[in-house]
Amino acid sequence: MASAEELAAIKKAKILMVGAGGIGCELLKTLVLTGFRDIHLIDMDTIEVSNLNRQFLFRKHHVGQSKAKVAREAVLKFRPDVNIVAYHANVKSTEFNVEFFQNFHVVLNGLDNLDARRHVNRLCLAAGVPLVESGTTGYLGQVTVHIKGKTECYECQPKPAPKTYPICTITSTPSKPVHCVVWAKELAFTRLFGDKNQANDLDSQTKEASSASEQQVLPLELQEGESVASFAFRVFDYVFGHNIEAALKNEDAWKSRRKPVPLYLNKILPNIAEEFKGSCENGARPENSCSAMSVLGLKNPQEVWSIEDNARVFLKSIEILYATKSKAIGTLVFDKDDQLAVEFVSAAANIRSYSFGIPMLSLFDLKGIAGNIVHAIATTNAIIAGLIVLEAIKILTSDFNHSRMTYCLEHPSKKLLLMPVEPFEPNSSCYVCSQTPLSLEVNTSKSKLRDVVEKIVKAKLSVHSPVIMQGSNILYETGEDLEKDMVLLYTSNLDKFLVDLPTPITNGTVLSVEDFQQEFSCNLHIKHRDEFDEEKEPDGMILTGKWLTSQTPEQQLNVPGGPTEGNNVVEAVAGETKTINDELQEVDGDFAEILEVNTVADKKRKIQDEEQAQKRMRVSLDER
């Protein structure tokens, strides 16, 4: 049991928990049982059905409610005498500033995305509060300890970049199911149901075609007086028939590739008009149909459906989306918890796969790819939560010498399933905790300030409300208390090329980037470069610097295309559904949730890296 000293520290500790999901539920329970009495809990999410297999503080009737609030109530039922403060809010919101973080003795993270983790890391550094960080995927998990000045911060090691695909692979030459999923989600779904103003390649091939033909019917727009069913038929033939036919005209592209087959509805489902006529009379009513597969009588989402059934699901999902969400059409964003969106994207991906001779997959598997779904089980989360509490106790009793990072493995490594490793020292070239400058290679006469702000400052550096300065001149800033004329100036700056700014940014310029909430600042050294590879460097700019080159060789292996180590990681993550996870690893277009996989990759690196530490460990094992 905990010693008297530990119990005293536990009793008076004030804890901040960020995240009340898989790890959070387990963590809150374990903290309270251990004797912690003052816990603040932040989570912006609401409860979903797919949480219930592991987030045991939640019940079916809680679906849709705040995770933080329901978790609090559930725990008070078995320990009514503890103080739990629940915030149904985004940890990035301004109320959680440095002063707020300073109220706590330790911060415990159970987050699911890199951006929020970085944000919390910076606030902890600024507030001088120790952070215990964690992550899991399937059987794998890790707990790390970050104490300012003593151990590395969460950002001391660069995280592997998420996989992106060359645009032409997605639009023209897919070779894997994942390429078709990205196409279905990013192009087809967005073009039909999302923001039509976004540039979209679905239309591009038709520009010549439609200007050549005299017809004024826009192929992907519902015409006045047209039934949704016949619109859906038209979309099918256009996207899977016409567009493929147009692509085939570019014969050079298919010299060394298998040619796709144009698909037309009258070949695949010759009687579809008849078939859907009948179903329209009784089906597609909003109240009984939020799922195309159930309307069509398809029961098993784990089964790979025929091309005919995929075509039916494609058509039916369009029909029901129009019937049930007509007002939202034009603003929809793909959501993995929206059954119809998942059905549309899976069917579209499969039909495209079929056309290109790529294996079709089940809706279940495609949903995993499209939604970047992290595999999660209760047991790993429980183990990780237990380890977090043990580390928190060491921090509270200032027992820093015994702080450990711990990896939870699927297969034992030298008999160990739970492997503790001594924390790393701070990385002296870290741009976050050591304020080491970064360099930005960019074409200063072709890139706009907006590109730097969106693609680098926000997306790569996770700075949410940036102030960008050159010397003492502010080039960009956001905030509610700004004067109107300043807002106008900053907005107009965004659309200027770097060299055209009031104080031009050219080769050798040093920009300073600050975020007052994060109390973060870093310098960006600008290096002008004329040319960028459109496929490999789609941003048209690249971050460099000592921090990024200080990564270990093992880490570089995690970069897509690297040799075996990366694959081992996939294998370790994949467990049972190897191929799917292989895809999952690659589809990480958006940062959210991928981090779980990255942390595991990171883990592998460290394990490999830590032969020394292992030797130390073996020594200490012998001693005991």
Partner 1 sequence: MEAETDSLTEQETAVYDRQIRVWGVEAQKRLSKSRVLVVGITGVVAEVCKNIVLAGIGKLTLLDDKPLSEEAVASNFLIPFFSTEDEGCCSIASICAEALRDFNPMVHVFVEEGNVIEKPGSFFDDYDAVIVGRSSLGLRKHVNLMCRNRSRRVAFYTVDCRGSSGAVFVDLQKYAYSSQKGNAEIWQEKHFPNLEEALSVPWSSISKKTSKLFFAMRIIEEFEQCEGRVPGQISCEDLPALMALRKKMCESQAVGDSMVPESVLKRLADAGNAELPPVCAIIGGILGQEVVKAMSCKGEPLKNHFFFTASDGKGVIEDISPSQ
Instruction: Tell me how far the alpha carbon of residue 173 is from its chain's centroid.
Output: 25
Query: 522 pairs with which residues across the strands?
Result: 513
The CB-based long-range contact list for 2-11 (8 Å cut-off, 24+ gap) reads 2/34, 2/35, 2/393, 5/397, 6/393, 6/396, 6/397, 7/35, 9/393, 9/396, 9/397, 10/34, 10/35, 10/36, 10/393, 10/396, 11/35, 11/36, 11/37
Cα dihedral 27, 29, 34, 39 sign: positive
Q: Candidates 255, 411, 484, 536: give the one binding partner 1 (CB under 8 A).
A: 411
Among 255, 415, 484, 536, binds partner 1 (CB under 8 A): 415
**Options 197-205, 260-268, 280-288, 404-412: segment touching partner 1 (CB under 8 A):** 404-412
- Does 480 help bind partner 1 (rule: CB under 8 A)? no
Contact 586, 392 (CB under 8 A): no
CB of 418 to partner 1, least distance (A): 3
Q: Which two tokens stand for residue 229?
A: 């069913």
Residue among 18 and 374 whose Cβ is closer to partner 1:
374
Cβ at position 244, least distance to partner 1 in Å: 30
Identify which range of 125-133, 210-218, 310-318, 576-584 contacts partner 1 by CB under 8 A: 576-584
By CB under 8 A, residue 575 contacts partner 1: yes
Distance between CA atoms of 602 and 572, rounded to whole angstroms?
13
168 is catalytic: yes
| Cβ 439 vs Cβ 546: under 8 Å | no
| Footprint of partner 1 on 124-153 (CB under 8 A) | 138-139
Please name the amino acid found at residue 417: L
Name which position in 253, 377, 489, 499 contacts partner 1 (CB under 8 A). 377
Does 484 help bind partner 1 (rule: CB under 8 A)? no
Residue 193: strand pairing partners: none
Contacts of 423-427 with C-beta under 8 Å, sequence gap 24+, read 423/144, 423/145, 423/146, 423/147, 423/150, 423/151, 423/152, 424/151, 424/152, 424/156, 424/157, 425/151, 425/152, 426/149, 426/150, 426/151, 426/152, 426/153, 426/156, 427/152, 427/156, 427/157, 427/547, 427/550
- Using CB under 8 A as the criterion, what x/- string covers residues 535-574 for binding partner 1? ------------------------------------x--x
Residue 611 touching partner 1 (CB under 8 A): no
Smallest distance from the beta carbon of 1 to partner 1, in angstroms?
4
Closer residue to partner 1 in complex, CB, 146/191: 146
Amino acid (1-letter code) at residue 138: G
53 contributes a contact to partner 1 by CB under 8 A: yes
The yes or no reply on residue 359 touching partner 1 (CB under 8 A) is no
Which candidate in 25, 153, 156, 168 is catalytic?
168
Among 417, 482, 488, 559, binds partner 1 (CB under 8 A): 417
Identify the helix (H) or strand (E) that includes residue 527. Answer: strand 520-528
Q: Does 615 bind partner 1 (CB under 8 A)?
A: no
Asked whether position 56 contacts partner 1 by CB under 8 A, the answer is yes
Long-range residue pairs from 216-220, CB within 8 A, at least 24 positions apart, any chain: 220/191, 220/192
Residues from 287 through 326 that contact partner 1 (CB under 8 A): 299-302
Out of 264, 364, 400, 424, the only residue in the binding site for partner 1 (CB under 8 A) is 364
Residues 6+ apart with CB under 8 A from 108: 15, 16, 17, 18, 27, 31, 131, 132, 134, 388, 392
**What CA–CA distance (Å, rounded) separates 166 from 147?**
40
620 binds partner 1 (CB under 8 A): yes
Which range binds partner 1 by CB under 8 A, 56-64, 102-110, 156-164, 261-269? Answer: 56-64
The span of 259-267, 527-535, 585-593, 612-620 binding partner 1 (CB under 8 A) equals: 612-620
Helix runs in 172-259, H state only: 177-182, 190-193, 201-204, 206-212, 228-236, 243-248
| Chosen residue from 292, 349, 385, 513 binding partner 1 by CB under 8 A | 385
* Closest CB to partner 1 among residues 51, 427: 51
- Judged by CB under 8 A, does residue 380 bind partner 1? yes
The residue assigned the tokens 């987030």 is 55
Instruction: Verify binding: residue 373, partner 1, rule CB under 8 A.
Output: yes
Interacting residues with partner 1 between 72 and 91 (CB under 8 A): 77-80
Candidates 95-103, 257-265, 368-376, 453-461; binding stretch for partner 1 (CB under 8 A): 368-376
- Shortest approach of partner 1 to residue 395 CB, angstroms? 13
**35/562 with CB nearer partner 1:** 35
Q: How far is the CB of 489 from partner 1 (least distance, A)?
A: 48
Residues in contact with partner 1, total (CB under 8 A)?
A: 71
Residues 579-608 that bind partner 1 (CB under 8 A): 579-580
Measured from the CB atom, the residue of 39 and 125 that comes closer to partner 1 is 39
Binding part of the chain for partner 1, among 100-108, 189-197, 314-322, 371-379 by CB under 8 A, reads 371-379
* Shortest Cβ 129–partner 1 spacing (Å): 21
Q: Are 309 and 296 in contact (CB under 8 A)?
A: yes
Are the beta carbons of 440 and 527 closer than 8 angstroms? Answer: yes
Contacts of 430 (CB under 8 A, 6+ apart): 152, 153, 155, 156, 436, 547
Quick note: the x/- pattern for partner 1 over 223-262, rule CB under 8 A, is ----------------------------------------
Q: How far apart are CA 523 and CA 511, in angstroms?
A: 6
Q: Does 375 bind partner 1 (CB under 8 A)?
A: yes
Q: Which is nearer to partner 1, 56 or 424 (CB)?
A: 56
Which of 382, 453, 511, 524 forms a contact with partner 1 (CB under 8 A)?
382
How many residues does the structure list for the chain? 624
Residue 61 is a binding residue for partner 1 (CB under 8 A): no
Candidate list 24, 368, 423, 566; residue touching partner 1; CB under 8 A: 368
Span 9-48, contacts to partner 1 by CB under 8 A: 26, 29-30, 32-34
Q: In angstroms, rounded to a whole number, what is the distance separating the alpha carbons of residues 19 and 358? A: 39
- For 34, the token pair is 């251990």
The DSSP symbol for 138 reads: T
Query: DSSP states of 448-495 as a string?
Result: BHHHIIIIIIITTT--SSEEEEETTEEEE---TT--HHHHHHHHHHHT
Which residues are annotated as catalytic? 168
